[in-house]
Structure 1
Amino acid sequence: MSGLQIVYVLTNPAMPGLVKIGRTTLEEVDGRMKQLFSTGVPVPFDCAFACRVPNSVEVEKALHHAFGNVRINTNREFFRIEADRVISILKLLHVEDATQEVESVIEADATKADLQAAESMKKRRPRMDFTELQIPIGSVLIHKNGDAQVTVQGAKTVVHEGIECSLTSATRKVHGLPENYPLQPSPFWSFNDKTVQEIYEDWYAELEAE
């Protein structure tokens, strides 16, 4: 691939919980972003992170392999994962940040109405509340590794190893991560054979349809 090579991490408020990991060149980024927005998505993508890399093919392939277990479709570049997890790996490569350049292209191609619609979708999305999701107090959530569980204590809290905390905090402890590590906990826990993320997205879709 010729030109300045870029690997990007995109999100879209119309597809909560999904991340797109792809590559392009600086010369082709405008055409690529237009192509993505014309594939049936209702609002433009957000560039969570983009960076210049020496070989985008190798970097993209490595990321797709690393997160292959959460890939939605082998023919698509969408993954059910938190964008911060992908970004943290890219930053370990000491890459050159190109986020603003890609985001500027997206904003330039989108109409004012497109951007307002995207912002409106972000603002409308409510925070997760166990009671609203019909996950009763006292319910047990099982971690996907099968070795950990938490008990729902309140609308937004759980009990993990005898301590009441947020689900995010409990997930960090299970994974041995620092307290300030950014992550989205809902994909890691299940209730009645569905992940908390799936339950939330079903509930949110119903709200959107009203």
Structure 2
Amino acid sequence: MKDTGCIYILTNPSFPEYVKIGYATNLENRLKQLNRSETIPYAFRAYAIYEVDKALTDKELHKLIDKLNPELRAIDEFDGKPRVKEFYAMTKEAAYELLECIAKISGTTDRLKKVKPEGHEIEDEQIAQEIKETARRGPFNFGECGIPVGAELVYVEDASIKVKVLDDRHIEYQGETTSLSRLAQSLKGFNHPVQGTLWFTYNGEILSDLRDRLGK
């Protein structure tokens, strides 16, 4: 009996510069196994699969990538020993193109499929990008964006929710001092951090748009 399964391309918003390429007889079970860890902020998700008949096919693909560019594979050292992993410093599109070339050469393009992302996966990627952008640009500063102390900000999803600016970093909501990100996270019911400037407006303009317009 053949060991049928698929070569997968997985992505993770926690480290968007890498893709994971491997083999699984049951992708759903493999994802569950990978996503049990609580040390990674976001879950792995499948970007594409290529159905194959032999379990060793992914190893051959690894060899091919290593031949093309040995610098792409993630290799580190632990306890004096090298650890070679299935992670590659390449875009998901580049990884897909490799599989696409193989599929075309072998006449098996019908076995190659992209996986449509689910709603929460799209949201995770957006949030991860927001956090990365915030880290790059630094915290939002009300004063630098021309928002004075005492100004009123309005929550995007409910205009009845209004907050008052206390200083360059903090706001007041229902008598309590907090931050945009912390309040937005609470209002959205998320367990992960969010970019607060996406969820509040000043004079009708979303704060993130205001910041972009001012180049701050």
| Shorter-chain TM band | 0.3 to 0.5
Taking CA–CA contacts closer than 8 Å with sequence separation of 6 or more, which of the two structures ends up with the larger relative contact order? 1
Greater per-residue strand proportion: 2
**TM-score normalized by structure 2?**
0.46
**TM-score normalized by structure 1?**
0.47
